[in-house]
Amino acid sequence: MRNESIRYLIVPGWQGSPDDHWQTHWQNSLPNSARVEQADWLTPKRQDWVGALEQAIAADSTPVILIAHSLGCITVAHWASQASVSLLRRVRGALLVAPADVERPTCAPALRNFAPIPQHLLPFPCQVVSSDNDAAVSAPRAMQLARAWGAEAGILAGAGHINVKSGHQRWEQGFAYLYRLQNRLEQHALRRA
């Protein structure tokens, strides 16, 4: 954003984002970025993960853009459903990549406590990016979540879970979605001015 300082808050999914994951590369590339750290990456508890996100947003009054992956996307949706108006106002937007469908029959038992997925409009602009061959969420389900959240949606061809395993280490093309989101935020700010 041109006229205000922005924090980029990286919100990893289940098991965290290793050193060669695109979220780690982005954290090292984007100015003023930080990661939401979880006490337990392997057996996530919804209340704990939502609480850690809340603490990270509350830690600094600078406006924030959330960059979430997989279970991190679902954490963002849960947080937004119960957060205070003052903290919600700090979030300028969210890039939600490969949201994990924790309601699918093949979901790992460790993630089921994140169900049901909130199905309400998120109170900030967001962009969902998913894939047509992601084992964690089908393309139609990703589109349904995007509609429920009021997000723009992009479905990539053959991109898997958009993680290291699917070949997305730096994921430079993903910056296009972040820039698109930021341009929307700037246009919205100009209309309000």
pLDDT in tens, 43-77: 999 999 999 999 999 999 999 999 999 999 999 99
C-alpha dist (Å) from residue 18 to 10, 41, 42: 13, 11, 13
| Banded model confidence at residue 193, pLDDT cuts 50, 70, 90 | low
24 has a pLDDT exceeding 60: yes
Angle at 148 between CA 143 and CA 153, to 5 degrees: 35
Question: Which token pair is 76?
Answer: 């963002």
Enumerate the domain spans of the chain: 7-192
Q: Are 49 and 106 in contact (CB under 8 A)?
A: no
Phi-psi region of 98 (alpha: psi -120 to 50; beta: other; left: phi over 0): left
81 has a pLDDT exceeding 50: yes
> pLDDT exceeding 90 applies to what percent of the chain?
87
Instruction: Please tell me whether the overall predicted TM-score, pTM, comes out greater than 0.75 for this model.
Output: yes
Q: Coil, strand or helix: which one is 34?
A: strand
> Which residue has 């279970």 as its token pair?
71
Q: Residues 121-176: pLDDT tens digits? A: 999 999 999 999 999 999 999 999 999 999 999 999 999 999 888 888 889 899 99
State whether CATH 3.30.70.980 applies to domain 7-192. Answer: no
